[in-house]
Amino acid sequence: MVHVHPRPSDCRLAKKLFIRTYGCQMNVYDSARMADVLAPLGYAPTATPQGADMVILNTCHIREKASEKVYSELGRLRRLKDERTATGGDMVLAVAGCVAQAEGEEIRRRAPYVDIVFGPQAYHRLPEMVARATRASAAARHAGPGVLDTSFPVESKFDYLPGASGRQGVSAFLSVQEGCDKFCTFCVVPYTRGAEFSRPVPQIATEARDLIALGAREITLLGQNVNAYHGADEQGREVGLGGLIRHLAALPGLQRIRYTTSHPRDMDDGLVAAHREVAELMPYVHLPVQSGSDRILAAMNRKHDVDDYRHAVDRLRRARPDLALSSDFIVGFPGETAADFAATLDLIRAVGYAQAYSFKYSPRPGTPAAALPNQVPEATKGERLAALQALLAEQQQGYNDAALGRSFAVLFERPGRHAGQLVGRSPYNQAVHVTAPQDLLCKLALVRITHSKSHSLEGALVKQPAFAGAAT
């Protein structure tokens, strides 16, 4: 007779885990990994904080608005937690991510009912933190100081994380690089994420294979400076992002590769060549420039000027003429004049963007720019942002209009809002809505674009016997 041991999920009631994620894709990735770490403890993801046994806020510190959200959300969660404890239940409340890293002590002071506070590099230690936090009763914990881990451990969390278990989906994120050594004067990331670090190639390849086995057909490689990636391959040789992409492109089942976010200074020849030669690498690059004024770029400590940026764009476009570009812009950096701002608009006109993100400069505590004189008035920031966004919206609409009548491969990611509709992405990262049979979900299909909108496209399936799934 075969004796079957029950799996943990068979012998305990699953506990409910709710994670709310703010900020960038790296936080989205981290949240998925936290769920992986907590799965062996019996926690299963749930869609709302109501009734959850554990709630994690994975926070972002990049702009003031982002971090202030955390405290208002904590206020709401406190009421939920109180209700649960009042009825004899329990809810472990944790704050993770970049606000936790930057303001761990302040969170404990302003919100003492939070049980666990931990930074982006410490979440592999979650099981131990949960055990420590739940040792005391819910009532005793309420008064206590809670668990705090905002260290930058010497060990890499990636060496301790379990395999990707819960991350289904046709398009998956995979962090390959973390941290930043560039210290732009406006930015908190070097302080919240720590120094630049690249994962070794074999470790990334293993995780990519796991994701493919779970259904991923597209993987987006993530890093705060993803093109600064330099990891060791099986032979111990160092490879750049281009080399890593070639390695992953050879994995059976992986049809599309993307990466984000890049720094203009790290756009090396190996990566440019990958855009020319690797069919699986999608023709879309997010290359933040922040400003079109050399004076402001210098004050930002960006370590590149406008010419360097334009040169990087030219090299990429020579390698891949149909490349779609996106960028990040900051308006109202301290000392930005009308002429500096006009130079940013000129750069946008000269480059031509398919998509972009833009922000008002937000002074962040502890960053050098926050202490600079000549802070730009809010009203001026508002006017400049509106003008910049109008130009970018016009470019994005023009870019989408240019797709009309063209056909390209769309990877269907999810059902659309209307019955019988699927939504996928074009090679150029545009959302495409198509009336299509549900069995095309998670597959590539050739689509002809019939309508264009400011933020998405509509198209129709191109009838063909069997679409083998060329990457673009």
Residues that bind ligand SF4 (CB under 6 A): 180, 182-184, 187, 189-190, 224-225, 263
* Spatial separation of the C-alpha atoms in residues 66 and 42, rounded to whole Å: 31
Out of 290, 344, 395, 430, the residue judged to bind ligand SAH by CB under 6 A: 290
As measured in angstroms, the least distance from the Cβ of 267 to ligand SF4 is 13
Tokens of 390: 């109008």
Candidates 149-157, 265-273, 354-362, 425-433 — which segment interacts with ligand SAH by CB under 6 A? 354-362
Which of 160/183 has CB closer to ligand SF4?
183
Identify the H or E element spanning 18. strand 15-21
Of 188 and 282, nearer to ligand F3S (C-beta) is: 188
127 close to 38: Cβ distance less than 8 angstroms: yes
Return the range that interacts with ligand SAH (CB under 6 A); candidates 50-58, 181-189, 388-396, 460-468: 181-189
Q: Which helix (H) or strand (E) holds 172?
A: strand 171-175
Per-residue CA distances from 350 to 49, 313, 343, 347, 399 (Å): 47, 11, 10, 5, 14
User: What SS3 class is residue 337?
Assistant: coil
CB of 59 to ligand F3S, least distance (A): 7
Q: Which of residues 304-343 bind ligand SAH (CB under 6 A)?
A: 328, 330
d(CA 194, CA 185): 15
DSSP strand pairing (218-222 vs 171-175): parallel
Separation CA 21–CA 455 (nearest Å): 23
In whole angstroms, what is the distance from residue 327 CA to residue 330 CA?
10
Residues 284, 427: Cα–Cα separation, whole Å: 7
Q: Tell me which of ligand F3S, ligand SF4, ligand SAH, none is bound by residue 220, counting a contact when its beta carbon lies within the kind-specific cut-off of 5 to 8 angstroms.
A: none
Comparing C-alpha atoms, which of 297, 364, 326 is closest to residue 60?
A: 364
Q: Does 299 bind ligand SAH (CB under 6 A)?
A: no
Nearest distance from residue 117's CB to ligand F3S, in Å?
A: 15
User: CA angle, corner 393, sides to 461 and 381, nearest 5?
Assistant: 150
Shortest approach of ligand SF4 to residue 422 CB, angstroms? 35
Positions in the binding site for ligand F3S (CB under 6 A): 23-24, 26-27, 60-62, 97-98, 188-189, 192-193, 224
Q: In angstroms, rounded to a whole number, what is the distance separating the alpha carbons of residues 454 and 282?
A: 21
Single residue of 118, 259, 361, 399 touching ligand SAH by CB under 6 A: 361
Q: Which is nearer to ligand SF4, 111 or 287 (CB)?
A: 287
Considering only 22, 359, 399, 408, the residue that binds ligand SAH (CB under 6 A) is 359
Work out the number of other CB atoms within 10 angstroms of the CB of residue 352. 12
Q: Are the CB atoms for 353 and 327 separated by under 8 Å? A: yes
Give the one entry of ligand F3S, ligand SAH, ligand SF4, none that residue 183 binds, where binding means its C-beta sits below a cut-off of 5 to 8 angstroms depending on kind.
ligand SF4
CA distances from 386 to 26, 59, 339, 362, 461 (A): 28, 27, 16, 16, 37
Choose the one of ligand F3S, ligand SAH, ligand SF4, none that binds residue 327, judging by a C-beta under 5 to 8 angstroms depending on kind.
none
Residue nearest to ligand F3S (CB): 23
Please choose which of ligand SAH, ligand F3S, ligand SF4, none residue 150 contacts, taking the beta carbon within 5 to 8 angstroms, the exact cut-off set by kind.
none
Nearer Cβ to ligand F3S (217/258): 258
Interatomic CA distance for residues 137 and 122, integer angstroms: 24
* 63 binds, options ligand F3S, ligand SAH, ligand SF4, none, Cβ within 5 to 8 A by partner type: ligand SAH
Residues 59-98 that bind ligand SAH (CB under 6 A): 62-63
* C-alpha distance across the termini of the chain, in Å: 53
Joined together, the tokens standing for residue 245 give 């992409």
Structural contact between residues 136 and 144, judged by C-beta atoms closer than 8 angstroms: yes
Q: Which does 190 bind (CB under 5 to 8 A by kind): ligand F3S, ligand SF4, ligand SAH, none?
A: ligand SF4
What is the closest distance, in whole angstroms, from the C-beta atom of residue 286 to ligand SAH in the complex?
9
Q: Answer yes or no whether residue 381 interacts with ligand SAH by CB under 6 A.
A: no
Q: Which is nearer to ligand SF4, 268 or 383 (CB)?
A: 268
Q: CB 27 → ligand SAH: shortest distance, Å?
A: 11
- Residue 201 and residue 232 in contact, taking contact as beta carbons nearer than 8 Å: yes
Find residue 177's DSSP bridge partners.
198
**Minimum separation from the CB atom of position 326 to ligand SF4 (A):** 15
CB atoms within 10 A of CB 212: 18
Comparing CB distances to ligand F3S, the nearer of 150 and 224 is 224
The option from ligand SAH, ligand SF4, ligand F3S, none interacting with 97 (CB < 5 to 8 A, set by class) reads ligand F3S
Q: Does 224 bind ligand SAH (CB under 6 A)?
A: yes
